[in-house]
Amino acid sequence: MKKIVMLDSKSCDNCGDCMKACSEVHGVSRISILDYQGEYFPVVCQHCASAPCGEICPVNAIDVNNGVVHLNEELCIGCGLCALACPFGAIFINEKTAHKCDLCIEENDECACIKACSKRCLEVVDVEDIVLSKKLKNLPNLASITKPGSKAGKSKNKSLMSLITSSSRVNNP
């Protein structure tokens, strides 16, 4: 089960409570907040399946375990290659060591940033649940796509597949 921190940028008011809570737990905040066109966006590791940060690390200080990208700060040499490779800009170097969100896995509890957010704009979600939800939401659209020539296709002739293929049909004698 792959989990990530999702955000609601419309709710974030840049209060910094998430950053303070993260700092209290980890000694340094592993979340940052950026202002973009008047909205605030908490930036946090998205725990990429391919983990480009781990691929580039010359000392193998970053690995993926149970869908969580974990950085071993003891092994880190602070070269910054992981920060350069991160597509979200969610890794930073502080005092010659890389830092990134680990979903507070060592705390065996809810993420500190999520507990601290009074606006509830941060939430840990299961990616598979989101994908299933999207599938179920789009099921009616998928059901309307029928194979040309099928009973449903002949009776409706308004399905997406029928509309797409109707101009390419050739009448065979």
pLDDT band at 169 (very low <50, low <70, confident <90, very high): low
> What is the model's pLDDT at position 164?
60
pLDDT digits (tens, 9 = 90+) for 119-165: 888 887 777 887 888 888 888 877 777 665 555 544 445 555 565 65
Assess contact for 52 and 86: CB atoms under 8 A. Answer: yes
H/E run at residue 82:
helix 81-85
Counted residue by residue, the chain has a size of: 173
164: left (phi over 0), alpha (psi -120 to 50) or beta: alpha
Assess contact for 20 and 116: CB atoms under 8 A. Answer: yes
Assess contact for 146 and 156: CB atoms under 8 A. Answer: yes
CA distances, 87 to each of 50, 76, 153 (Å) = 11, 19, 44
> What is the model's pLDDT at position 153?
43
Say what the pTM is.
Answer: 0.69
Q: How far apart are CA 103 and CA 147, in angstroms?
A: 45
> What is the model's pLDDT at position 58?
96
> What is the model's pLDDT at position 77?
96
pLDDT digits (tens, 9 = 90+) for 25-64: 889 999 999 999 988 988 989 998 889 999 999 999 999 9
pLDDT digits (tens, 9 = 90+) for 40-50: 988 989 998 88
pLDDT digits (tens, 9 = 90+) for 71-113: 999 999 999 999 999 999 999 999 999 999 988 877 666 788 8
H/E run at residue 112:
helix 112-116
Q: List, in order of start, the domains of the chain with CATH numbers.
A: 3-131 (3.30.70.20)
